[in-house]
């Protein structure tokens, strides 16, 4: 109850300028961290969907939900952590790959069902999608292969089953 735990939060917000900074500002003003955050438009132009991950106690998380809900631009908010949900993250990784390493990299990519999406004489660029643990295991498995650049989308979350984050009436 009193120890920090990973919380993944889904939000529907008005797609207006300032919405993102209201949410980011709330985190800094009230002393919460944002581990990762993703924002993108939805099929309704006026609404953006956000997923964010933060580490805090359950009671701080419940207070955070109320504070987020209080923001005028927030249409709906839900802590997905304790319900069955699906999480995905995307990784784009540029690594050094000399001739000797190429086979090994290809094999690793196959094992993790990653795709090599760009090749040069000296580098591979790899795309991988999956839950955060899978992304981290893949990066771990690279061993001594030199990572030149690493881009992660941050977690995206959606609840399992027929339920959805709705526009509350």
Two tokens at 25? 């500002």
Category of 22 on φ-ψ map: left (φ > 0), alpha (ψ -120 to 50) or beta: alpha
Choosing from 18, 41, 131, 163, the residue that interacts with another protein (CB under 8 A) is 18
Asked if 58 is part of the footprint of another protein (rule: CB under 8 A), the reply reads no
Distance CA 151, CA 18 (A): 25
| Minimum distance of another protein from residue 8's CB (angstroms) | 20
| Minimum distance of another protein from residue 53's CB (angstroms) | 21
CB nearer to another protein: give 29 or 99.
29
| Minimum distance of another protein from residue 165's CB (angstroms) | 13
Distance CA 165, CA 159 (A): 8
According to DSSP, the residues that pair with 118 across neighbouring strands are 125
| Minimum distance of another protein from residue 62's CB (angstroms) | 8
Backbone phi, then psi, for 80, in 5-degree steps? -80, -10
Residues binding another protein (CB under 8 A): 13-14, 17-18, 21-22, 25, 29, 59, 62-63, 66-67, 69-70, 72-75, 167-168
């Amino acid at each position: 109850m009193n120890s920090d735990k990973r919380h993944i939060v889904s939000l529907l917000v008005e797609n207006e300028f300032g919405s993102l900074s209201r949410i980011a500002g709330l985190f800094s003003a009230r002393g919460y961290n944002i581990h990762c955050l993703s924002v993108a438009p939805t099929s309704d132009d006026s609404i953006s969907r956000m997923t964010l991950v933060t580490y805090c106690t359950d009671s701080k998380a419940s207070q955070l939900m109320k504070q987020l809900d209080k923001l005028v631009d927030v249409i709906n908010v839900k802590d997905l952590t304790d319900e069955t949900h699906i999480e995905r993250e995307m990784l784009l990784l540029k690594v050094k790959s000399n001739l000797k390493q190429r086979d090994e990299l290809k094999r690793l990519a196959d094992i993790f069902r990653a795709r090599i999406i760009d090749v040069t004489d000296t580098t591979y660029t790899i795309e991988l999608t999956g839950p955060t643990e899978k992304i981290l295991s893949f990066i771990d498995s690279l061993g001594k292969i030199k990572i030149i650049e690493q881009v992660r989308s941050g977690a995206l979350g959606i609840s399992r089953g027929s339920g959805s984050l709705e526009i509350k009436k």
